[in-house]
Amino acid sequence: MDNGKQINRPEDTIAAVATAPGQGGIGIIRISGPNAECILQKIFSPAAHSGETEPVRMESHKMMYGRILNREEVLDECMAVLMRAPSSYTREDVAEIQSHGGTQVLNRILDLCLMNGARLAEAGEFTRRAFLNGRIDLSRAEAVMNLISARGEQERRAAVRQMTGGTADFIRKAADDLYQLQAGLAACIDYPEEISDEEGAGALRTGLEKLIDELQGAVDERSSHLIHDGMHVTLFGIPNAGKSSILNAMVGQDKAIVTEIPGTTRDTVEGEIMLGGIRVYLTDTAGMRETEDPIERIGVERSERALRNADIAMLVLDGSKPLGEEEKEWLQQLQATDAILINKSDLPQVTTAQKVSAIRPDVRCLTVSALDTGSVQLIRDFLRESAEVGDQLVLTQPRHLEAVKRAVNCLKDAIRTLDTMTPDMAATDLQAAQNALSEITGDRVEEKLLDAVFSGFCVGK
Ligand SMILES: Nc1nc2c(ncn2[C@@H]2O[C@H](COP(=O)(O)OP(=O)(O)OP(=O)(O)O)[C@@H](O)[C@H]2O)c(=O)[nH]1
Ligand SMILES: [Mg+2]
């Protein structure tokens, strides 16, 4: 089967089950394309027209009650609606059948659609048609998918902002500003007697710097990462400091085994919590120490790997014991965004926050006890603060950030060109920046990129 060719045939009528697989109260079958109405006429018999011998022209956008018939056999009682082009999701004729939500029922109805001339839709093909027919730009199409797959409130919010046009408006405005600069440059090249190279280059440089600032201001990679990937927090420290106890207290479950024997945790153990609408993955690790035990050594290697992948490393210290040499070294290696947990505050304190802060005054230090719920709240508050993302973000999709960064680099190249060569040499850089921006909205986009974007969609959307 040649997917590429099939996907680009607007004369095809496509059909798919639009609801999630499994059992549900209702399920929806969606049909889109030139034969959508004809297929619905063939398989659906509206109750209101039950006495008619000839098919009655259906009213658009009106929900009808009736039966799905395979010749004489009733497959289900259902609701159906026809949405004539262009007032539909794909801007084509669309029919939707709401049947009972069993897999068997839905598959039989879908088969009936296929027998009557529809072809099975590819992943994301309905939305791809909406894009190709100009109903939504590419950034909105992607937002639809993000909304469906959102696993946290912030991800949902970012998807809605993108879907309602925040991203497209911002990018189109930047593209317009860039067109103005390109036009200014063209005037400078075409009328050298009226605009000197210095004048032209000066105006262009000012405009480019402003545009670079605006684009860079919209690139917030940290927030994008938190929204899409969640925040990864790794608890590490010497054996017996109380890392597993803290993980268990944070997730409210006995995920990791806790004993008084140092070296209890051998493998990394992960727990997931939601904070401020961001998914937070907490990883408990094997206590780090020199060891001859081959199993424990593998555990320590895994701890080190988890640390490398962490957004926040949390060094857990046992407050009832003095700081070890290794711990002093780790304290030095922490980043300012990491944290130190001085655990076992219910016991007499030997290692205090004061002592630790004298070594690393820039790193947040929390005095806690895994046995106390107030401490859990303290850690949650710290993590929630760390997971905060802007509410006005216009770019969160990694693909968009990458394209904007590429555009910014081209604009910077253009400035460098202006500094060393005549203004006309900068035209190529400006066009490359324009192309990068138009990939986001899909105003200029290659088939390969579309395939990559839509292949991540689910069938039926
Ligand atoms: N009093 C007190 N005991 C604690 C606290 N946290 C942990 N413990 C005890 O300390 C011992 C070690 O706790 P764990 O959570 O297994 O320590 P760990 O850092 O995961 O140890 P490893 O897996 O060996 O690296 C257990 O006996 C816990 O009950 C605390 O806040 N107060
Ligand atoms: Mg442990």
Q: What is the pLDDT along the chain (461 residues), one digit of tens a residue?
A: 344 456 678 899 999 999 988 888 999 999 999 999 999 999 999 988 776 777 778 999 999 999 999 988 999 999 999 999 999 999 999 999 999 999 999 999 999 999 999 999 999 999 999 999 999 999 999 999 899 889 999 999 999 999 998 899 999 999 999 999 998 888 877 777 776 667 767 888 999 999 999 999 999 999 999 999 999 999 999 999 999 999 999 999 999 999 999 999 999 999 999 999 999 999 999 998 888 888 888 888 888 888 989 999 999 999 999 999 999 999 999 999 999 999 999 999 999 999 999 999 999 999 999 999 999 999 999 999 999 998 778 898 899 999 999 999 999 999 999 888 877 888 999 999 999 999 999 987 778 888 888 887 888 88
CA of 332 to the centre of ligand 1 (A): 24
Residue 453 lies in a domain: no
130 and 92 in a single domain? The answer is yes
pLDDT of residue 195: 67
Residue 57 lies in a domain: yes
Residue 454 lies in a domain: no
Residue 108 lies in a domain: yes
Q: How far apart are CA 29 and CA 31, in angstroms?
A: 7
361 and 294 in a single domain? The answer is yes
377 and 427 in a single domain? The answer is no
Q: Which ligand places an atom closest to the C-alpha of 269?
A: 2
Domain that holds residue 305: 231-386
246 and 371 in a single domain? The answer is yes
Counting atoms of ligand 1 from 1, which one is nearest the CA of 371?
A: 31
CA of 284 to the centre of ligand 1 (A): 12
**Choice from 236, 243, 250, 258 to test ligand 1 binding pocket (greatest atom count within 8 A of CB):** 258
Between CA 38 and CA 45, with CA 40 as vertex, the angle to 5 degrees is 120
352 and 261 in a single domain? The answer is yes
Residue 438 lies in a domain: yes
11 and 116 in a single domain? The answer is yes
Mention every residue, 6+ apart, whose C-beta is less than 8 A from residue 308.
none
Counting atoms of ligand 1 from 1, which one is nearest the CA of 260?
A: 27
Q: Which ligand places an atom closest to the C-alpha of 242?
A: 1
Residue 413 lies in a domain: yes
185 and 318 in a single domain? The answer is no
Counting atoms of ligand 1 from 1, which one is nearest the CA of 238?
A: 25
Domain of 66: which CATH number? 3.30.1360.120
357 and 311 in a single domain? The answer is yes
Residue 113 lies in a domain: yes
CA 156 to chain centre: 9
339 and 241 in a single domain? The answer is yes
| Residue nearest atom 8 in ligand 1 by C-alpha distance | 242
The proportion of the chain whose per-residue pLDDT surpasses 90, expressed as a percent, equals 74
Model pLDDT for residues 76-101, shown as the tens digit of each residue: 999 999 999 999 999 999 999 999 99
Six token digits for residue 249: 């207290």
pLDDT of residue 4: 47
Residue 410 lies in a domain: yes
Q: How far apart are CA 420 and CA 422, in angstroms?
A: 7
75 and 147 in a single domain? The answer is no
Q: Which ligand places an atom closest to the C-alpha of 240?
A: 1
| Residue nearest atom 2 in ligand 1 by C-alpha distance | 344
Domain of 239: which CATH number? 3.40.50.300
50 and 168 in a single domain? The answer is no
364 and 277 in a single domain? The answer is yes
CA of 257 to the centre of ligand 2 (A): 7
| Residue nearest atom 10 in ligand 1 by C-alpha distance | 242
Domain of 172: which CATH number? 1.20.120.430
Q: What is the 3-state secondary structure (H, E, C) of the chain?
A: CCHHHHHCCCCCCEEEECCCCCCCCEEEEEEECCCHHHHHHHHEEEHHHCCCCCCCCCCCCCCEEEEEEECCEEEEEEEEEEECCCCCCCCCCEEEEEEECCHHHHHHHHHHHHHCCCEECCECHHHHHHHHCCCCCHHHHHHHHHHHHCCCHHHHHHHHHHHCCHHHHHHHHHHHHHHHHHHHHHHHHHCCCCCCHHHHHHHHHHHHHHHHHHHHHHCCHHHHHHHHHCEEEEEECCCCCCHHHHHHHHHCCCCCCCCCCCCCCCCCEEEEEEECCEEEEEEECCCCCCCCCHHHHHHHHHHHHHHHCCCEEEEEEECCCCCCHHHHHHHHHCCCCCEEEEECCCCCCCCCHHHHHHHCCCCEEEECCCCCHHHHHHHHHHHHHHCCCCCCCCCCCHHHHHHHHHHHHHHHHHHHHHHHCCHHHHHHHHHHHHHHHHHHHCCCCCHHHHHHHHCCCCECC
Q: Which ligand places an atom closest to the C-alpha of 296?
A: 1
pLDDT of residue 85: 96
Counting atoms of ligand 1 from 1, which one is nearest the CA of 375?
A: 31
Total domains in the chain come to: 3
Choosing from 83, 114, 136, the residue where a domain stops is 136
- Output the ligand 1 site: residues, CB below 6 A: 239-245, 258-260, 262-265, 286-287, 343-344, 346-347, 369-371
Counting atoms of ligand 1 from 1, which one is nearest the CA of 368?
A: 31
